[in-house]
């Protein structure tokens, strides 16, 4: 059980172990040529028919792809600056990510090692390690609700909340209404929106997990992606407002699979934090970015480091929680 007020801040790297792309990989996926049919496996990108089914003209989509490719930035940052591509961009994100939401990838014991290798995944799961640290034996909903954990995520996928829902339902078989009540005690805030509510979050507007990215799911999903426009202040975003409150109340903060983008860091207002312990993974981060992060400070005008060198770990999230810094 997690007894200290803990906030996890998730970047794209936190979802990579479950088959989702990094920010750069998402751009490459969206920019893949239309109607490309490899000799083996599914199309690399989307097809003209798929685009027409979601009311996107293929030629206009190519213009969007060219602009995104030449901008040399994340799709989030690109769309914040190019309002004319707002709708097509959000549809592109939904098209790219919805087919990757697969329950079988979250629970891997039935997947062969060869299949995992093909998917470029390992059997180790940090979601499983997190789950093990959230529960106590014997399991009870009431005990689960006592965990002091919150999550701020910059990702659109719903893999973590889906994992926790399935795990609670499987371990306890509680009345259906009890599971949302339990999960709501571990709030997960998607600061830029998500692919939409799951069934247990909203029966009326649900976008199911395992939708395979069909056109109906994409059309209902993309409207839930909520980017902050350049020129707007972060105060207009309820998700960021709540994030500031959670961070202010926290005792520990973990950056997991986070790229430490300057805009995202600024929007979190980390310079206002008091002396609380901040941990981070930095696997895959280039050395120049690591130096910048280690020089970040708390409180404007001081030299107190945001993340101490000994708390900046060049490991994946599973190794961090399993071997170095358990949450419980």
Q: Can you give the CATH number for the domain in which 314 is found?
A: 3.40.50
Q: Indicate the average pLDDT of the chain.
A: 90
User: Is the residue at 32 inside a domain?
Assistant: no
Q: What pLDDT, in 10s, does the model give residues 267-314?
A: 898 877 766 789 999 998 999 999 988 888 766 556 788 899 999 999
Report the range of poorest mean pLDDT among 113-122, 148-157, 298-307. Answer: 298-307
pLDDT (average), residues 13-37: 92
User: Is the residue at 234 inside a domain?
Assistant: yes
User: Is the residue at 147 inside a domain?
Assistant: yes
Report the range of poorest mean pLDDT among 71-80, 123-132, 227-236, 248-257. Answer: 227-236
pLDDT (average), residues 133-141: 90
Q: Tokens standing for 301? A: 């005008």
Count other Cβ atoms within 10 Å, centred on residue 197. 18
Residue 159 CB partners (closer than 8 Å, separation 6+)? 15, 18, 20, 101, 106, 127
Question: Per the structure, how many domains does the chain have?
Answer: 1
User: Is the residue at 79 inside a domain?
Assistant: no
Q: Which domain holds residue 145?
A: 6-20+108-324
Please tell me the predicted confidence (pLDDT) of residue 301. 58
User: Is the residue at 101 inside a domain?
Assistant: no
Please tell me the predicted confidence (pLDDT) of residue 256. 98
Chain length of the chain: 328
Beta-strand runs (E) in the chain = 6-10, 149-153, 188-190, 252-256, 277-281, 297-298, 304-305, 312-313
Which residue has better confidence, 146 or 303?
Answer: 146
Residue 236 banded pLDDT, cuts 50, 70, 90: low
User: Is the residue at 254 inside a domain?
Assistant: yes
Q: What pLDDT, in 10s, does the model give residues 185-221?
A: 999 999 999 999 999 998 788 999 999 999 999 999 9
User: Is the residue at 87 inside a domain?
Assistant: no
Question: Pick from 192, 201, 198, 225: which is nearest to 210 by CA?
Answer: 198
Please tell me the predicted confidence (pLDDT) of residue 232. 52
Percent of the chain at pLDDT > 90 equals 68
User: Is the residue at 44 inside a domain?
Assistant: no
How far apart, in Å, are the Cα atoms of 224 and each of 14, 68, 89, 91? 21, 21, 13, 10
CA 73/CA 50 separation, integer angstroms = 25
- pLDDT over 90 (residue 114): no
Indicate the SS3 state at residue 279: strand
CA 196/CA 136 separation, integer angstroms = 31
């Amino acid at each position: 059980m997690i007894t200290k007020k803990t906030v996890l801040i998730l970047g794209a790297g936190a979802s990579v172990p479950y088959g989702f792309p990094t920010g750069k990989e998402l751009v490459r996926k969206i920019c893949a040529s239309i109607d490309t049919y490899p000799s083996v496996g599914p199309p690399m990108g989307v097809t003209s028919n798929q685009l027409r089914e979601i009311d996107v003209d293929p030629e206009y989509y190519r213009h969007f792809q060219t602009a995104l490719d030449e901008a040399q930035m994340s799709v989030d940052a690109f769309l914040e600056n190019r309002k004319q591509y707002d709708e097509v961009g959000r549809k592109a994100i939904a098209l790219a990510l919805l087919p990757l939401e697969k329950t079988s990838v979250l629970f891997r014991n039935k997947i062969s090692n060869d299949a995992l290798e093909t998917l470029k995944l390992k059997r180790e799961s940090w979601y499983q390690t997190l789950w093990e640290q959230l529960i106590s034996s014997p399991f009870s909903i009431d005990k689960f609700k006592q965990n002091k954990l919150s999550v701020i995520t910059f990702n659109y996928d719903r893999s973590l909340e889906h994992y926790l829902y399935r795990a609670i339902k499987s371990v306890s078989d509680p009345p259906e209404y009890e599971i949302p009540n339990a999960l709501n005690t571990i709030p997960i805030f998607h600061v830029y929106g998500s692919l939409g509510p799951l069934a247990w979050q909203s029966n009326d507007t649900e976008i199911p997990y395992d939708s395979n990215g069909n056109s109906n799911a994409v059309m209902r999903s993309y409207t839930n992606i909520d980017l902050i426009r350049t020129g707007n202040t972060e105060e207009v975003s309820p998700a960021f407002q709540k994030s500031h409150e959670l961070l202010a109340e926290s005792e520990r903060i973990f950056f997991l699979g986070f790229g430490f983008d300057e805009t995202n860091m600024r929007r979190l207002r980390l310079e206002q934090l008091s002396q609380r312990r901040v941990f981070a993974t930095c696997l895959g981060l280039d050395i120049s970015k690591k130096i910048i992060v280690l020089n970040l400070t708390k409180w404007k005008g001081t030299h107190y480091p945001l993340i101490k060198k000994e708390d900046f770990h060049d490991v994946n999230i599973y190794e961090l929680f399993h071997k170095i810094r358990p949450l419980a």
